Structure 1
Amino acid sequence: MTELSSSPAPVPVRAVRTESPWRRFLRTFVKHKLALIGLGVLVLMGLAALLAPQLTPYTFDGQDLDIIGTPQPPSRIHPMGTDELGRDALTRVLYGARISLSVGISSALIATLLGTLIGALAGYYRGWIDTVLMRFTDVVLSIPLLPLVILVSGMIRPSVTLLICIIGALGWMGTARLVRGQFLSLREREYVEASRALGGSHGRIMFRHILPNAIGPVVVSTTLAVGSAIMLESALSFLGLGVQPPTPTWGNLLNSASQWLQGAPWLAVFPGLMILFTVLAVNFLGDGLRDALDPRN
């Protein structure tokens, strides 16, 4: 008799669970402790700016006539002291955050939109369009940004809205070169060729297929541009070419405090620390986003 050979039992195949890009992004981002701290600092500053009327009983231009003439040091009633006009320094710092943060975020968004559009057109079409747009970008990049913004601001004396437009319109070049490089790399991929073969329009290919795959570096560039815009606005206001008093910004608060550095240094310390912490928080957040959006992770 021949023995019947029993076939081995089939090995169960385990389904491989693929992690979604959103979960992978969150998992990587949460590991970046400095990025979480930066995000928390920015959220707190944003809430403090929005809730300034509820957090302080004073108005930004309200004066205490009994202490006018000499800045008062920090106290229980005025935690950051007062300036020479009897105005509460904490209130002015909180209201100044509204202007400085709105200028930084809004101008960074404008610069990102302009840079993305120019970089996408140059990288996708190439040829003479790429040559013209990139040579124009190189010319603007060759001009130092701060003197150029000072010149424009000195000629126009901008309001908050106009200052946002000026900074945004003069800060798009880095994003344009970054997006151009991404489009040059992605335009030859198989999915782009497939969309082109199916009759997809140029606009659809650029903004529906290529741009979503290049969004990571654009997001990181936007966050870093916020910090640069805040620094630029503060520099302009410090020089008297930005938002004019009595509307407070961190920059013109530093300008007003410059004549009291010996007798009342707290007037310069608090807005200076706000600028420092905000820019550091934005940079930490940008580092975390860069690591989380890196495809190698």
Structure 2
Amino acid sequence: MKPQSEGQLVFHRFIRHRAAMVGLAILLLIVIVSYSSVGVRVAGWHIPGWWKYDHTALLPIENGGHPTRDHPFGQDVVGHDVFALTMKGVQTSIYVMVVLSVVACLMGITVGAIAGYYRGWVDHALMRLTDLVITFPVIVIGAVLGKLVQSNGPTALAVALGLIFWTTLARLVRGEFLTLREREFVDAARVAGASGFRIIRKHLLPNAMGVIIVNTTLLMAAAVLLETGLSFLGFGISSPDISLGKMISDYQAAFSTRPWLFWWPGFFIIVLALSVNFVGDGLRDAFDPRQQRLPSARWRFIR
């Protein structure tokens, strides 16, 4: 049998993880449907989708707003098509999730890498800063920052939340770097005259990518719930933008009379968070060599 590289082993373990494959398929389906159905705006250009109603259109209310063939998710009290609103909310939630995760990942990697490699007073200063950020409840400081940037749209909210969501990743990267910096290949790079930045970029970061990828994926699932919670409380996405949490907040009074206004945003919040979590669990198991299964024949022999 041809020997496999570490990347190939990780890939094969990941694709054999059934829950991760189901989560990835559902996540890709949601992304494709949400962006293709109601279209998307890119650099001022609007790319239309295949759904016939826009989320801003006020339409005649059919069948009392109950779900119909033309409006499978129903309509709200003023005539908006709930399917179009929900897909737009999914787009916003996915966008915030991605931008927040990128900002938090960059912050966490930078702080953790510098602290773990240089140690000493640099490590102490950065870790005390990390401890200070951790002491504040995320939902409280997120609400404060969210209120400050609320009028600036989803991008500003995502960046602001990313600036407080990096602490766990920073600690994990620091711990990984503290271990890796004592390895022989790092000593060889130092002897060869490589700078600290080059050692971090060329030798340490590639070997820490497993920890970074797994925890960034799990961070994305938490980001969905954080944005949803803040928008529900009124500290996140505000009009005219739409998110799933804002839809639940807007329609909470109609829960007993028009429950479909509440069901669909809640359903997609749960599915998004679960699917990203399943992908993260699969990546964690794939990168952990202890998760490698024995071949079935050998297992039967051992038993």
Q: Does 1:267 align with 2:252?
A: no
Superposition pairs for residues 154-233 of structure 1, below 5 Å? 154-157=147-150, 158-233=152-227
Once residues 194 and 240 of structure 2 are traced to their aligned partners in structure 1, the CA distance between those partners, rounded to angstroms, is 54
| Counterpart residue type for residue 103 of structure 1 | V
Larger Rg: 1
Matches within 5 A, 1:142-153: 142-153=135-146
Give 1:160 deviation, angstroms.
1.1
| CA apart distance, 1:246 | 3.4
Aligned partner letter, 2:23: G
Work out whether residues 89 and 242 of structure 2, in 8 Å CA contact, stay in contact via their aligned partners in 1: yes
Unaligned runs of 5+ in 2: 39-48, 293-303
Q: What is the letter of the counterpart of residue 33 of structure 2?
A: A
Which string of whole-angstrom CA distances, capped at 9 and with x for unpartnered residues, describes residues 242-276 of structure 1?
Answer: 22123221011101110101100111111001000
C-alpha displacement at 1:115, in angstroms?
0.2
* Superposed displacement of residue 156, structure 1: 3.4
Q: Residue in 2 aligned with 1:60?
A: 55
Question: How does 1:36-75 map onto structure 2 within 5 Å?
Answer: 36-53=21-38, 54-64=49-59, 66-67=60-61, 72-75=65-68
Moved over 4 A (4+): none
Equivalent position of 2:300 in the other structure: none
The CA distance in 1 between the partners of 2:12 and 2:274, in whole Å, is 22
Residue equivalent to 1:106? 99
- Percent identical pairs in the alignment equals 38
Equivalent AA in structure 2 for residue 47 of structure 1:
I
When normalised by structure 1's length, the TM-score is 0.91
Q: How many residues align?
A: 280
Task: Tell me which of 127, 130, 136 is aligned to 2:120.
Answer: 127
Aligned to 1:22: 7
CA distance in 2, matches of 1:198, 1:80: 64
Establish whether residue 84 from structure 1 lines up as the match of residue 88 from structure 2: no
Please report how far the alpha carbon of residue 155 of structure 1 lies from its aligned counterpart in structure 2 after TM superposition.
3.0
Q: Considering only aligned residues, what root-mean-square deviation do their CA atoms show, in Å? A: 1.5
Matched, 1:139 2:124: no
Between the aligned partners of 1:194 and 1:36, the Cα distance in structure 2 is 40
User: Does the CA contact (< 8 Å) of 2:218 and 2:276 recur in 1?
Assistant: yes
Partner of 1:5: none
Equivalent position amino acid for 2:173 in 1? V
Q: Which TM-score applies when normalising by structure 2? A: 0.89
The answer for the alignment partner of 1:4 in structure 2 is none
Q: Tell me by how many angstroms 1:71 deviates.
A: 6.0
Which residue identity is paired with 1:186? L
1:140–1:71 CA distance, 2 compared to 1 (3 A): farther
Q: Judging changes above 3 Å, is the alpha-carbon distance between structure 1 residues 71 and 228 closer, same or farther for their aligned structure 2 residues?
A: farther
> Cα offset for 1:151?
1.3
Identify the range of structure 1 (270-279 vs 21-30) with the bigger mean alpha-carbon deviation: 21-30
CA displacement at 1:294 relative to structure 2: 1.6
Deviation at 1:184, TM superposition (A): 0.3
Q: Could you tell me which amino acid in structure 1 is paired with residue 35 of structure 2?
A: L
Inter-partner Cα distance in structure 2 for 1:90 and 1:128: 54
- Residue number in structure 1 paired with 2:228: 234
Aligned equivalents of 2:24, 2:211: Cα separation in 1:
18
Q: Which runs of 5+ in 1 are unaligned?
A: 1-15
Please report how far the alpha carbon of residue 35 of structure 1 lies from its aligned counterpart in structure 2 after TM superposition: 0.2
Q: Which whole-Å CA distance do the structure 1 matches of 2:100 and 2:86 have between them?
A: 21
Secondary structure of the 2:289 match is coil
CA distance in 2, matches of 1:43, 1:101: 11
Shift of 1:85: 1.1
2:117 and 2:289 map into 1 onto residues whose CA distance is 22
| SS of aligned partner of 1:291 | helix
Q: After alignment, is 70-79 or 164-173 more displaced?
A: 70-79
Partners of 1:223 and 1:286 within 8 A in 2: yes
Q: Is the 8 A contact 1:61 1:246 kept in 2?
A: no
